[in-house]
Every structure is written in structure tokens, then in C-alpha cells.
Amino acid sequence: MAYRQTSIMDVWDIIRRLHDRQRVKEIARVTGFDRKTVKGYKRLAQAIGLSLEEPLPEKEEVLRRLQESAGRSKVGRSPRAQTLLAPYLDEIRELINPVQKDLALKAKTAFYVLCERHQDLAGQVSYPTYKRFVRLHKLSLHPGLSTCRIEAEAGSEVQIDYGKMCQFFDPASDRRRVLYAFIGTLAHSRMKYVELTFTQDQRSFVCSHVRMFSLLSGVPKKTVVDNLKPAVISPSLYDPQLNRAYREMAEYYDCFIETARPGHPKDKPKVERDVQTVREAVRMLIVQNPSASLAELNRLILDWCVHTYGEREHGTTGEKPYTVFLERERPALKALPGQPFEVALWKTATVHPDHYIQVLGKAFSVPHEYLGKTVWVRASERVLKIFYNHQLIKQHVIGDRYRHTDYGDFPENVRAALDTNYLHKKLLERAGAVGPAFGRIVHGLLSVHAYINLRTVQALVKIADGTTDTRLIEHAAGLIEQHAIKPTPQNFRGLLAKLAAEVSTPNLLPMSQETSELVRDISYFQQ
């Protein structure tokens, strides 16, 4: 059964009203206390020497008398329930503050353990009584901790966090995977947005924000986020580096991002506490709907946010989150832009000597003056933009082909060589000079497209130039043709090393391709 704790200032207010000749019924209605409680404090006022017929003493004097009276009333007071707990004082202390600190229990958990161990306490001692006992004997693990609750204005702030929920079966990968929850809590109304996901990458993180803003029908002034990798590249107390896609999203929606200090979860306490609440809700939904898919779970958890959690009176504010959101929070949010934000991939890339960068499994040309530079790449669904020092230097339309080339990115001498196929002609000549087998391999690579396998051919020719024994090169090329081995530089270099080791073995002569064609297995001669 709950009770209302009365402070000494509540008593002072009742005494003032009694001295003002207000009726007991009226005082009870205004202050919210029971009429019996008001009458009890009326008797207390008389007991400490206050009279309705005499002027009321100074406030400090009345408070002093009330405190002295409270001290006297506690002397010799020993409620039955408190007496029942007294023999277990050391046991409770050991449960809350054990020698092995990683086994320390919360005070509430210790109460359940105590009742389980001692059945005579069950039903005899209530949890509120137990809490008063723990507080009286200062058994809490952190008795000196205090907090200051700071409320936010409507529409001013949303706090973001990821939380690990449980293991959940993913039909797409046919295995159990870790299920995470993206949680956004509006600081004023405590209204939540929850989205379940298997990933915590950059794209998923930004997409969750876009869907959250769409569902809320507005954007808060600022977003408070932890130092999550999808949001913060390098955490710092003074200069955190935000992810480019996340910053771009904030600029599009005209909101601001604030990062919590590293190691300070209380910088976003409202969503930090919600992780436990959401975890219990998700697990409950999974138990109730064991065959639900991820999409169905997301629909159920959003329904829980609105109709279960949203319609339940909040323990701190005393108001229903969804009602407060509709009445005060949503009107205060910033309006959404006309079009939803287009989520793009941001990443860095190095411009290679052949004037290309590698992004999304494709190659894109970059102007000659940026060779060897590290550039930023923004890849949307159809367009790829390349930036250097925050300036746009190149733009490509993403097509189905592998290589996206603008010949204007190359210097004049290279363009001339490309136009006349000079480069790959020289490579074919050098490969043919090594041997016929090696020449056929290079010709096969360049016949697909003169530029797709250009770097592969250059690497193979470079390896051949560095090998003094051309017989090894031809032997390796023959093995590649005979066994349909992929002619990559790694495979070619490995074959050369193996053949060189065989040549260096005593009494073992290298076998030419012509000789190897005459070799038969032992079973051939047993027929």
C-alpha cells in the first residue's frame, strides 16, 4: 500500500492555514491530505505550544519546535517490522556490499533474496518498510549519491541510444543474430520511437532518424547522442568528429547534434533508462508472438510505444507521454522538409596512379591533379560525388558497368596513348617476347577489354621482368592454361616460387611443357 511522505514544510503550511481559521475540510481539499491527517497536525500544533488565540511565532521558531518534537517522538520507537529486520542486518549488508564486488546486489534484489531465505519474513515485512530500514542503517552501495532532474522544453530535445535486446532468428541468413533497438526519447513528453534492427551501421542509423522524424511529424531542435560509431568518428570531450552522413542529415532537417561526454551516460539519462524498459517490452512481445518476423515485431513495438507505454502515467512527470506529445510536444517540433532526406554513403578513398578510385565495387576516374590524394566520396542511389577539401571535384552517374571513365581526367599524353591503344600494344609486345604461353595469357586478359584488366597485366609483366629464368615463366604460364587457374599476380607469383623451389632441389631437373605432355600416370602402363 502506498503512502505520501510529509515534509516539515507541509506541516508548516497546514499550521499557517489552521491559524488563519481555515476549516479542516478546506485545508484537506487544497493540500491533498486526509482530514484525519490535518486534525492530527492540529493536535501537534497544540502540543508544541501554538494557540489559535495568540499570534503565530516566527517561522524559524515553529520549525525548531517541530524538529524537536519529531526527535522526541522517535526516541524509544521501535516498530514491529523494523524489529523483525534487525537480526538480519549483517546478512543484508553482505548482500548489498559483499567482499566480492561483482556479486553485489541492488537493495531491491537483496530484499527478494532475504524473503526467499527466511520464509518468516514473507508477508510480515513490506518492501517500503525494508527500504526505510536500509536507508536508516545506510546500507546502500552508494549512500552519498544524489541527482538533479533537469526538464526540457517541449520540442527541444530527443535523446538517442542503441540497446542490445536478445538473440533473434533471421530468416534471410538462416541463423540467430543479435537484435538491437534504436531508441529515441523526447525529453519533454518521454514519448518513444523504437526500431528493431540487426545492424548498427552508418546507413541504418541515419535511416532510423529519418523514419523517426517522419513518424513524429516534426523535428526536435537538437539530438543528443552517445559516442556511437555510426554517429561519431572520433569521440572527444571538446571536439568530437561527427560522421559526414549524420551531419548532412542534421543540416537537411535544420537540427543540431550534441554528443554526450565519453563515459558519461547521464548526459542523456532519459533514454539511458529506457533501454531496460524497451528490452523487457521486446522480450515480452517475442514470448507472446514466437513466430513474428522482424517487420511484425517493429509494428508491435511501435504500437506498444503509443498505446501501452504512451497511455500509461509516467512515474516522473505524472502525465501520459502520448497525451503530452499530442498536446504540447508535436506542435513545438520543427516542420518536416517537403521531401524526405536521401540517405547517402560517405567514405574516404585514395586516388590511384591510374586515376581511379574504388567505391561500391566499381572504379571511377578522378582528375589528374588529385593523384595520390585522399578524397571524400558521397554515393547516393544513382549519383557519386567526389570532394577534396570540402570542394566538389568530380561527379559520376552510377551505371551497371564496372569502370566509369572520363578521359578528360587524364593528361594529354596519357589520353593520346589511350586513344591509340599504345599502352596495351606495348604490353602485348613485351609479353610475347617472354614466351608464347605467357603471351597468350596476357592477350586473353586484354581481349576482354583493354582497360578492365590493365593493372593485372601490368603486374604480371612486372613479375616477368623481374624473373631471370624465362623457362620458369613459361612453365608457370603453361600450368595456368592447363589447369584453368585464374591468372592473378598472386597466383602467378606463387607458381613461380614453387617451381623455383623444385628447380633448387638436388637431382631434380625442370620439366618443359613438351615433356610434361608425354608424362603418363602409372595406371597407364598397368593396362
Mean pLDDT by runs of 10 across the 527 residues of the chain is 64 84 84 84 84 82 80 52 80 80 74 81 79 79 56 84 85 83 88 88 84 90 78 52 77 82 70 82 83 88 89 84 90 87 83 86 89 88 87 88 82 60 74 85 72 78 84 87 87 87 62 69 61
* Measured CA distances, 403 to 117, 329, 355, 453 (Å): 72, 50, 11, 11
Across 287-300, b (16+ Cβ under 10 Å) vs e yields eeeeeeebeebbeb
Phi-psi sector, 174: left (phi>0), alpha (psi -120 to 50), beta? left
8 Å CB contact between 480 and 441: yes
pTM for this model (two decimals): 0.51
Residue (of 477, 520, 471, 522) closest to 495 by Cα position: 477
Q: Which residues of 312-336 are buried (b: 16+ CB within 10 A; e: fewer)?
A: eeeeeeeebbbebbeeebbeebeeb
Angstrom distance (rounded) from CA 460 to CA 15: 98
N- to C-terminal Cα separation, the chain = 98
CATH H-level, domain 157-332: superfamily: Ribonuclease H-like superfamily/Ribonuclease H (3.30.420.10)
Phi-psi region of 111 (alpha: psi -120 to 50; beta: other; left: phi over 0): alpha
Instruction: State the amino acid at position 280 in one-letter form.
Output: E
The CA distance from 175 to 41, in Å, is 66
Contact 355, 335 (CB under 8 A): no
Q: Where are the domains of the chain?
A: 8-74, 80-136, 157-332, 345-415, 421-518
The reported pLDDT for the residue numbered 139 is: 76
* Residue 77 confidence (pLDDT): 45
Whether residue 132 contacts residue 82, with contact meaning beta carbons closer than 8 Å, is answered with yes
pLDDT at position 207, please?
A: 87
Q: What pLDDT is attached to residue 140?
A: 64
Residue 409: count other Cβ atoms within 10 Å of its Cβ.
20
At 376, which helix (H) or strand (E)? strand 374-379
DSSP code at position 307: I
- 291, amino acid identity: S
Confidence (pLDDT) at 300: 92
d(CA 76, CA 54): 33
What is the reported pLDDT for 76? Answer: 43
